[in-house]
Amino acid sequence: MASLLAQLPPCDLVLVEGYKREAIPKLEVHRAATSKPWLHPDDPHILAVASDAEPEQKIPRIDLDAIYLITDFIQTHALSVPTA
């Protein structure tokens, strides 16, 4: 991922999808209808979940349909990370 990010022009925020094994801050998106297991119990880099179901373990949850809360969460956490 670092080599891909190095190719980008300067920017304020990069959102990525599919890098489950990277040690980066994450927001897990989980839909109950998929019946897939939660990722947050095994990933300490997941800061919160956006879901239509209650997570199995204690972790901040944002309703999947509350787009404004999801964007607020991303902005708050992006602004708290120091930049190079």
The closest of 83, 54, 48 to 69, measured between CA atoms, is 48
In sequence order, which residues have a C-beta less than 8 Å from that of residue 76 and are 6 or more positions away?
Answer: none
Four-CA torsion 44, 59, 54, 70, nearest 10 degrees: -90
12-39 pLDDT, tens digit each: 788 888 888 999 899 999 999 999 999 9
Total-model pTM = 0.82
Confidence of residue 65 (pLDDT cuts 50, 70, 90): very high
Specify whether the backbone of 35 is left (phi greater than 0), alpha (psi in -120 to 50) or beta. Answer: left
Domains of the chain: 2-79 (3.40.50.300)
